Amino acid sequence: MNKQELISQVAETSGLTKADASRAVDGVFDAITSSLSSGNEVRLTGFGTFTTSQRKATTGRNPRTGATIDIPASTQPKFRPGKSLRDAVN
């Protein structure tokens, strides 16, 4: 499912127009993104938890040339599914 299919599904199940559903989906994505960039977690009971984790700097190798490269430290988003979501998928 891509974003447009998600918007169509939200519009169909909620009775909203596609424009309103698009604004709602974009609003949810923006809220999650801004919360994670502030260092907070987003916990949606029954669905899952969005968090961030720190990756430390490492040294890697360019597979083509074999030269060593420095990979800088970064913050990565993570998602842990909730029990209800895991049960629905399995």
What domains can you pick out in the chain, each with its CATH number? 3-89 (4.10.520.10)
Q: Could you tell me how many residues make up the chain?
A: 90
Q: pLDDT tens digit string along 26-79?
A: 999 999 999 999 999 999 999 999 999 999 999 999 999 999 999 999 999 999
The pTM for the full model equals 0.80
Residue-level pLDDT at 11: 96
Helices within 1-81 (DSSP H only):
3-14, 18-37
Residues 6+ apart with CB under 8 A from 21: 7, 8, 10, 11, 14
CA distance 56 to 71: 9
Count CA atoms within 13 Å of residue 83 on its CB side. 0
